[in-house]
Structure 1
Amino acid sequence: MTATAHDASSQNGSRQLAALVLGAIGVVYGDIGTSPLYAFREALRPFAHDGATPPEVIGLISLMIWTLTIIVTFKYVLFLLRADNDGEGGTLSLLALLMKKTKKHATIFFFAGIIGAALFIGDAMITPALSVLSALEGLKLVTPVFTPYVLPIAVAIMLVIFLMQSVGTAAVSRLFGPITLVWFVVMGIAGLLHIADDLSILAALNPYYALDFITHAGFVGLVILGAVFLTVTGAEALYADLGHFGRRPIQFAWFAVVFPSLALNYLGQGALVLKNPAAASDPFFLLFPGWALLPTVLLATAATIIASQAVITGAFSLARQAIHLGFLPRLEICFTSASNTGQIYVPTVNMMLLIGVLALILSFGSSESLATAYGISVTGAMVVTTVLSYQFLRAIWGWTVLSALAVLLPLFVLESVFLGANLLKIHDGGYVPVLIAAALIAMMWTWKKGTLLVREKSARNDIPLAQFIKSIERKSDHSPVDVPGTAIFLTSVPDMTPNVLLHNIKHNRVLHDRNVILNVRTASRPYVPESQRVTIERLSPRFSKIQLNFGFMEDQNVSAAMPLCRQAGFNFEIMSTSFYVGRRKLVGDPNTGLPHWQDRLFIAMAGFAIDPSDYFQLPSNRVVELGEQLVI
């Protein structure tokens, strides 16, 4: 390679890295970037009656900075970003990897995974409500005239955000990175300019003051820890968005922009309160002079909208993973970008999130009230990730028990303390994320349990495929009529005769010249290369078996995969090919199978599932559906 070519390649690589870093700042760090709006303010609330003393203010800021350092920097940025599943991160991605590598403790892993996923979706409801309210409440400082309009404006913004999901966010997402970068720079500069208000705040960089605060604060210190943890809300997005940006850009964005800006802002807020204790009422917005308040509120609102979009997109991605892993029914998934398959829209999840967010805004009414409900879902998800990480170190990286415990036990203890502190807020609204998570856990557990029961009941009447082929190809007076063309029968159990094939012979008395048993398999890795997409097995002159392999992050588009079948040797004409799909009507039986409440929930969830022909994107004019009734 010539020097000129090397320089050009280096410049392209630098530009690509810069673009990914900018994107990571907008998407990955949008949530954690809104925490300064409310975290320090809420931590000061227990001192509202008599004010916080200088050692208490320094201790609080020290706690916040070192919580960011230990949990975000050490756990997520330096460690968990390396614990990937073929480049993908997140609770369900980690769960899929562990379930592939080891069968021990599978039940524990399953429940840990769905608890983490449920808590993440709960977080996706609370984050938009809290962050947007926190930003808009800055309008009250501009002029009290805005006070009655904060709630209606918040509701209007939420409606616009969720309604725009169906048309995609590709156009506006290009602005996410630059706007959030400006937000971080503004926060950092505002904090830096106020550090000089009281330079003693720099003592907060010493972890001694954080430990001293905790050891002397008593029960109040435990309550305050719940608010301190608000500084790391959004850290799970670091891990979940690993596949979108890659480890290096996320790490670079953290160390170069995000962490310095957050640390400077918290130090500035602390110095401001040391100089003027009355600023504890809203230390973030009071960092700014009067003339800058309105522009700052508008910028903060834009930043919180971006943070909301990031967690909504994360919830869509998590729902797709859960569907492909068999934790949820096959919901409708719409793709809003022709070039980026990661930009998806799940209407059912979107509506559920919208209802939840509006209910939270209208029932709590202010960010101060809503902050009491925040934290439990975040800390719970982090504890779950730490538990799964222990098994990752043991099963994937081959660490010894002592080595894994040495790294993760301190984190587990710290996060458990934070979780306990947040659980103290149960009666003040903390029950909300717990109820949301409990409902989602019940749904995912019921779906997994119900689908296993359906499979088990269907298997009682299953006929081994090899046995069926042998019998059907033995000609007799009762043999079905031969018809030209190709019939493709979808099934989830490829070694057994599909029920839809049996029903076709029973009711229509026909058998095609060529018959294909098609099984769509979800791999425990995020993506499967096209070279491994298709597996074809010839069973007899008239029967073949095709398996299509997709990763759990991929669109399971059968029509798009059919040309690959041709390349693999299976030649067919689409106009003489019919896809046969079974449709089940489920009937609950209170005397067998699931408990009555799970029966009703499972059947209701099945009603939300879209047709297999739509889910697998089969050619609409080549599909034949045959129904059956199944008692569960």
Structure 2
Amino acid sequence: MSNHSSRESVAALTLGALGVVYGDIGTSPLYTMKEVFSPTTGVPLDAAHLIGAVSVIFWGLMMVVTLKYVLLILRADNRGEGGIMALTALAAKAAGTSGQRRVILLLTGVFGAALFYGDSIITPAVTVLGAVEGLEMISLSFKAYVVPIALTVLIALFAMQRYGTSVVGKLFGPVIVLWFGVLAVSGLNEIIQQPAILTALNPLNAIRFLSAQGWHVFVVGGAIVLAFTGAEALYADMGHFGKRPIQIAWMGLVLPSLALNYMGQGALLMRDPGAIENPFFRLFPASLLIPAVVLATFAAVIASQAVISGAYSMTKQAMQLGLLPRMQVNFTSAKEMGQIYMPGVNWILLAGVLLAVVGFGSSSAMAAAYGIAVTVTMLITTILTFFVVRNSWKFPLAVALASTCVFLTLDILLVVSCSLKFFQGGWFPLAMGGVIFLVMATWRRGRELLINSIRQHDPELLPFITALSGDSIARASRTAVYAVANPDTVPQALMHNLKHNQVLHERNLILTVVFHDVPWIPFEERVQVEALAPGFWKVKVNYGFKNTPDIPKALELCAAHGLVLNLFEISYFLSREIVVPTKGTGMAHWRELLFALMSRNAGNVVDFFRLPNNCVIELGTRVQI
């Protein structure tokens, strides 16, 4: 690639990163300063405290976002992919042979992933509501219409998900560039009128502000953390845009614009303390309020789109890692495999978002619920990063501790600060995350019990098929593919075929699909073929958690291993297990009932693996767990 083409590619990726990665943190100025100086925090609204609070926000952005995420954690890529699931897999692999440590790290990462769903509900609700609340600055008569308008915008946003983001996605980057430009200009205008706010750049003012709060610092920290929400998106979307475009976008536009806007709001409040009712929209003259509200609403929709799309991707990865049952996945783009739509996830998220908007009623009330899920996820990310730095990158213990302990201390401070708001709404995302974690743990454990039950009651495969080779059983001149979870026992569908039809196929493939804790599996490692007995082969298909399963395409790769197949002469035999919960060992009975319910309602395996509908035979069997 020429230098010119390379520069164009980086520029395009940087523009895309602005639209997707920075929508959430870019809309934080809508409500952060208002919450820092709300009556619940008790921070005096005077020049010293305004300078101190803005200084804490600025240096918090430098420490939490710039140093932690942009410079450190973006280095922890799992074959080019980022995000809590990719980091969990990387940390668990780095844990070495210690099985107990590996399990603890996996559970920690899964809980962090579960909390993401709470964030996926709170982010659209608080950002859209915070933007629409700007109407109150135009006229108080709009106050009664804020919630209905926010609900309408959110319903329209979720209803449009089925059409994909390819068209509207092209507008994301330019709109967010305009948004950050407006943030910078509106803030700079106030700084010029009140340049004393620039002393907030001195970190000593941040230290003085925090030390003067005493134990009250935890209350203030719960509001200041709102400025950092969305930082996790830098890492989660690394696989889409790459490390360099994300870093360029942050250092070149996002950080300067946010810093100018927060200082501008501080300068405005130093000049006019009455602007605290909504300092962001008070940055604009009355003639520009309507355009500002419209632009803020567009920015909020873009921020919401990022976490909604992230919830789809997270669910797909969790399904392929065996943490959730199969769900319907619709691909909304013929070119971009990452653009997907999951109806079940979409409508569950919408229900949660609408309940949050109606239940909390304002962005200020919802702010209490916002920070806790984000800060716990940030804390988990730091813990996992330590194991990557120490065990994967092989840095000395002192270096690993030095590179993570400062961030760990900051994360703990923020988690404790947000925990004080537990009863004011912080319970909401934690409850959501807890429920999702329970579902994930139940599904994973239930699948283990199911496979163990099948292994105990079904005969071993190799002796069974070896005995068949000498029998004079009629053979159909086609290929049978038996998809199984356990390749060492006889597939139920094979036994049913022999019992009821008294026939074997000329070629029989015992097929297992394994999803690995890496993002991608290259084509040369995708398929493994092992000859077992005359007419029988064991085929193992490997996928990463970001690969899209496609069994017919995978079977084409068998030719390179000496097994040539005619895809038009294949019958796919599937065993559908009907789970029968029984009291005793295993899981608690109510969890077994939950697993049975999820198993019955799991998505269609035919669609999930892209099997041709007219070539599939499903045979059911009852399995006790």
TM-score range, shorter chain: over 0.9
Aligned-partner SS, 1:515:
strand
Is the 1:20–1:249 Cα contact (8 Å) retained in structure 2? yes
Q: Could you say which residue in structure 2 is the equivalent of 1:3?
A: none
Is the 1:46–1:224 Cα contact (8 Å) retained in structure 2? no
Q: Deviations over 1:154-194 (max 9, x none)?
A: 11111111111111111110000000010001101110111
Is the 1:46–1:220 Cα contact (8 Å) retained in structure 2? no
Q: Deviations over 1:297-319 (max 9, x none)?
A: 00000000000000000111111
Please list every run of 5 or more consecutive structure 2 residues that lacks an aligned counterpart in the other structure.
Answer: none
Alignment-mate amino acid for residue 66 of structure 1: W
The one of 437, 440, 443 equivalent to 1:447 is 443
Does the alignment pair 1:566 with 2:562? no
Equivalent residues in 2 for 1:129-208, closer than 5 Å: 129-208=125-204
Q: 1:49 Cα deviation (Å)? A: 7.3
CA distance in 1, matches of 2:449, 2:619: 21
Give TM-score scaled by structure 1 length: 0.96
Query: CA 1:47 to 1:624, structure 2 compared with 1: closer, same or farther past 3 Å?
Result: closer
Is the 1:41–1:282 Cα contact (8 Å) retained in structure 2? yes
Q: Deviations over 1:125-151 (max 9, x none)?
A: 000000000000001111223221111
Does the alignment pair 1:537 with 2:511? no
The one of 304, 314, 317 equivalent to 1:318 is 314
The one of 567, 576, 583 equivalent to 2:569 is 576
CA distance in 1, matches of 2:29, 2:601: 39
Is the 2:578–2:600 Cα contact (8 Å) retained in structure 1? no
Q: Deviations over 1:96-116 (max 9, x none)?
A: 223344342122112111111
Alignment-mate amino acid for residue 591 of structure 1: G
Q: 1:75 Cα deviation (Å)? A: 0.7
Is the 2:325–2:602 Cα contact (8 Å) retained in structure 1? yes
Does the alignment pair 1:391 with 2:384? no
The one of 582, 592, 598 equivalent to 2:591 is 598
Q: 1:211 Cα deviation (Å)? A: 1.2
Query: CA 1:606 to 1:381, structure 2 compared with 1: closer, same or farther past 3 Å?
Result: same
Is the 1:527–1:552 Cα contact (8 Å) retained in structure 2? yes
Is the 1:84–1:94 Cα contact (8 Å) retained in structure 2? yes
Q: 1:568 Cα deviation (Å)? A: 4.1
Equivalent residues in 2 for 1:477-492, closer than 5 Å: 480-492=473-485
Alignment-mate amino acid for residue 505 of structure 1: L
Aligned-partner SS, 1:332:
coil
Q: Could you say which residue in structure 2 is the equivalent of 1:256?
A: 252
Q: Could you say which residue in structure 2 is the equivalent of 1:368?
A: 364
Does the alignment pair 1:555 with 2:542? no
Aligned-partner SS, 2:381:
helix
Query: CA 1:500 to 1:395, structure 2 compared with 1: closer, same or farther past 3 Å?
Result: farther
Is the 2:17–2:241 Cα contact (8 Å) retained in structure 1? yes
Is the 1:184–1:258 Cα contact (8 Å) retained in structure 2? yes
Q: Could you say which residue in structure 2 is the equivalent of 1:97?
A: 90
Aligned-partner SS, 1:593:
coil
CA distance in 2, matches of 1:47, 1:621: 63
Q: Could you say which residue in structure 2 is the equivalent of 1:343?
A: 339
Does the alignment pair 1:62 with 2:55? yes
Equivalent residues in 2 for 1:511-530, closer than 5 Å: 511-530=504-523
Equivalent residues in 2 for 1:292-441, closer than 5 Å: 292-441=288-437
CA distance in 1, matches of 2:241, 2:15: 10
Query: CA 1:189 to 1:578, structure 2 compared with 1: closer, same or farther past 3 Å?
Result: same
Is the 2:51–2:205 Cα contact (8 Å) retained in structure 1? yes
Q: 1:497 Cα deviation (Å)? A: 2.5
CA distance in 2, matches of 1:576, 1:296: 62
Alignment-mate amino acid for residue 256 of structure 1: G
Query: CA 1:608 to 1:59, structure 2 compared with 1: closer, same or farther past 3 Å?
Result: farther
Q: 1:271 Cα deviation (Å)? A: 0.8
Q: Could you say which residue in structure 2 is the equivalent of 1:14?
A: 7
Is the 1:124–1:311 Cα contact (8 Å) retained in structure 2? yes
Q: Could you say which residue in structure 2 is the equivalent of 1:86?
A: 79
CA distance in 2, matches of 1:299, 1:247: 28
Is the 2:559–2:565 Cα contact (8 Å) retained in structure 1? yes
Is the 2:476–2:503 Cα contact (8 Å) retained in structure 1? yes
CA distance in 2, matches of 1:115, 1:184: 33
Q: Could you say which residue in structure 2 is the equivalent of 1:624?
A: 617
CA distance in 2, matches of 1:95, 1:211: 34
Query: CA 1:248 to 1:541, structure 2 compared with 1: closer, same or farther past 3 Å?
Result: same
Aligned-partner SS, 2:27:
helix
Does the alignment pair 1:225 with 2:221? yes
Q: 1:573 Cα deviation (Å)? A: 2.5
Aligned-partner SS, 1:455:
helix
Q: Could you say which residue in structure 2 is the equivalent of 1:461?
A: 457
Aligned-partner SS, 2:539:
strand
Query: CA 1:50 to 1:616, structure 2 compared with 1: closer, same or farther past 3 Å?
Result: closer
Does the alignment pair 1:288 with 2:281? no
Q: 1:241 Cα deviation (Å)? A: 0.3
Query: CA 1:575 to 1:511, structure 2 compared with 1: closer, same or farther past 3 Å?
Result: same
Q: Could you say which residue in structure 2 is the equivalent of 1:505?
A: 498
Runs (4 or more) in structure 1 with deviation over 4 Å come to 47-51
Q: 1:555 Cα deviation (Å)? A: 0.8
Please list every run of 5 or more consecutive structure 1 residues that lacks an aligned counterpart in the other structure.
Answer: 1-5
Aligned-residue Cα RMSD (Å) equals 1.5
CA distance in 2, matches of 1:134, 1:309: 16
Matched positions, count:
622
Identity %, equivalent residues: 44
The one of 179, 197, 205 equivalent to 1:209 is 205
Is the 2:32–2:223 Cα contact (8 Å) retained in structure 1? yes
CA distance in 2, matches of 1:47, 1:614: 52
Query: CA 1:49 to 1:620, structure 2 compared with 1: closer, same or farther past 3 Å?
Result: closer
Aligned-partner SS, 1:45:
coil
Q: Could you say which residue in structure 2 is the equivalent of 1:71?
A: 64
Q: Which of 537-546 and 35-44 deviates more? A: 537-546
Q: 1:51 Cα deviation (Å)? A: 4.3
CA distance in 2, matches of 1:534, 1:47: 60
Query: CA 1:465 to 1:383, structure 2 compared with 1: closer, same or farther past 3 Å?
Result: same
CA distance in 2, matches of 1:49, 1:357: 30
Q: Which of 193-202 and 271-280 deviates more? A: 193-202
Q: 1:502 Cα deviation (Å)? A: 2.2
Q: Could you say which residue in structure 2 is the equivalent of 1:496?
A: 489
Q: Deviations over 1:281-333 (max 9, x none)?
A: 21111111111111010000000000000000011111111111111111111
Aligned-partner SS, 1:194:
helix
Q: Which of 399-408 and 170-179 deviates more? A: 399-408
Is the 2:175–2:299 Cα contact (8 Å) retained in structure 1? yes
CA distance in 1, matches of 2:199, 2:84: 37
Q: 1:48 Cα deviation (Å)? A: 8.1
CA distance in 1, matches of 2:582, 2:318: 27
CA distance in 2, matches of 1:192, 1:607: 58
Q: 1:47 Cα deviation (Å)? A: 7.3
Aligned-partner SS, 1:175:
helix
CA distance in 1, matches of 2:505, 2:57: 69
Is the 2:555–2:565 Cα contact (8 Å) retained in structure 1? no
Is the 1:520–1:549 Cα contact (8 Å) retained in structure 2? yes
